Amino acid sequence: MKIALFAAVEDEVKPIASMVHLTGIGRENATTAMIAFMEQHQDEAFTMVNIGTAGAHTLPVGSIVNIREITTGGASFLKEPMLLDQLPGAPAVPSATLFSSDCFVSNHVYSADFLKKLSQKADCFDMESSVLYTFAKQYGKPFVSYKIISDHLDVDITEWQKRVQELNKKLAQFVTALIEGADLVPLK
Domain map (residue ranges) of the chain:
2-184
Which has the minimum average pLDDT: 48-57, 132-141, 154-163?
154-163
pLDDT tier for residue 120 given thresholds of 50, 70 and 90: confident
Q: Of the candidates 84, 64, 56, which has an alpha carbon nearest to the alpha carbon of residue 173?
A: 64
pLDDT at 157 over 80: yes
- H-run or E-run covering 51: strand 47-56
Contact 3, 88 (CB under 8 A): no
- Residue 112 has a pLDDT of 72
Say how far residue 109 (Cα) sits from the centre of its chain. 21
Enter the DSSP assignment of 186.
Answer: P
Nearest-5° Cα angle at 80, 95 to 106: 50
pLDDT tier for residue 98 given thresholds of 50, 70 and 90: very high
Rounded Cα distance between 119 and 30, Å, is 24
Rounded Cα distance between 109 and 150, Å, is 17
Sign of the torsion angle spanned by Cα atoms 173, 177, 178, 184: positive
Q: Of the candidates 62, 87, 172, 69, which has an alpha carbon nearest to the alpha carbon of residue 123?
A: 69
Average pLDDT for 113-117: 72
Rounded Cα distance between 41 and 145, Å, is 19
Contact 146, 136 (CB under 8 A): no
Mean pLDDT score of the chain: 90
pLDDT at 106 over 70: no
Assigned CATH for 2-184: 3.40.50.1580
Q: Is the pTM of this model over 0.85?
A: yes
